[in-house]
Amino acid sequence: MVAWFTRRYLDLLGSIYIYNEHRGYTALDRVLEAVRFRYPDDHAFIAAIEKHRADERKHYLMFRRWYEKRGQMPLSVDRTCGHIDRFVEIMFRSPIDRLDTIDVITNDRLFEKLCRVISLTEKRGYRQVEILLKHPLVQHDPGLIKIFRIIKQDEPSHWEPYDGWLRANRKREPKWWEHAVDAFIHSELLLLKLPILFLDPGLRRRSDWPDAHDRPQALALA
Ligand SMILES: [Fe+2]
Ligand SMILES: [Fe+2]
């Protein structure tokens, strides 16, 4: 029973992570396209986002290998488990896929909002990994511990480019209500979605890897 519980918990955790890492680097491809368009000469900013994108792809591949070693496919979780999906949906009233990236990058008000959303999401990710590294169930799995240690090391460089842009352009820091939205999304996932998915006997596995349908450009960048 304990073994089943642990395996199911880690399975769900891995599935939510692989979804979020994949969502992370594919969404950053669009941010990159837009930033290259608006700031073609800001090589440092572009390079920092490219590094962020490469790290998220690396995290995705670490979880993919973890699943390959288990001999399983991830559970089929969707965008309702994506922190950045929910954050963008709430703040922009549009799913990420329908967000007009050029609109966002050419409008300072929208771009600063996006920078705050990405920065808060990354900081949330860092704190979450710190918690998971001490989690008794996660400690059962040395492979996962290794992955979370690498993520913890990478994470601080992920919010820096967006915080840097906000500072350089004299834009404000996130306000209490933006922190509240971030906390709400996190507790919704932890207290509502995770238990429901955990107990759902009909939750299927994916039949393909999340990157099976990546745009050729995304693969080239990797
Ligand atoms: Fe990541
Ligand atoms: Fe990250």
Residue pLDDT, tens place only, 143-183: 999 999 999 999 999 999 999 999 999 999 999 999 999 99
- Interval 66-72 mean pLDDT: 97
Assign 222 a pLDDT band (cuts: 50, 70, 90).
very low
Nearest ligand to the C-alpha atom of residue 20? 1
Q: Which amino acid is at 166?
A: L
By the 8 A CB rule, do 70 and 25 touch?
A: no
Q: Measure 145 CA to ligand 1 centroid, in angstroms.
A: 14
- Using alpha carbons only, what angle is made at residue 213 by residues 118 and 70, rounded to the nearest 5 degrees? 85
Pick the residue with more confidence: 217 or 3? 3
Helix 2-38 × helix 108-133 angle, to 10°: 150
Percentage of the chain with pLDDT > 90? 85
Q: Measure 216 CA to ligand 2 centroid, in angstroms.
A: 22
Sign of CA dihedral 137, 22, 49, 177: negative
By the 8 A CB rule, do 10 and 144 touch?
A: yes
Closest to 158 in 3D by CA, of 83, 84, 60, 53:
53
Q: Measure 175 CA to ligand 1 centroid, in angstroms.
A: 24
Mean pLDDT of all residues in the chain?
A: 93
Question: Is residue 219 scored above 60 in pLDDT?
Answer: no
Q: Measure 202 CA to ligand 2 centroid, in angstroms.
A: 31
By the 8 A CB rule, do 124 and 151 touch?
A: no
Alpha-carbon distance 24 to 52, whole Å? 9
Question: What is the largest distance, in Å, between two alpha-carbon atoms of the chain?
Answer: 58
Nearest ligand to the C-alpha atom of residue 58? 1
**What is the pTM assigned to this prediction?**
0.93
Q: Measure 53 CA to ligand 2 centroid, in angstroms.
A: 8
In this predicted structure, what is the pLDDT of residue 215?
79
What does residue 78 show for φ and ψ, rounded to 5 degrees?
-115, -165
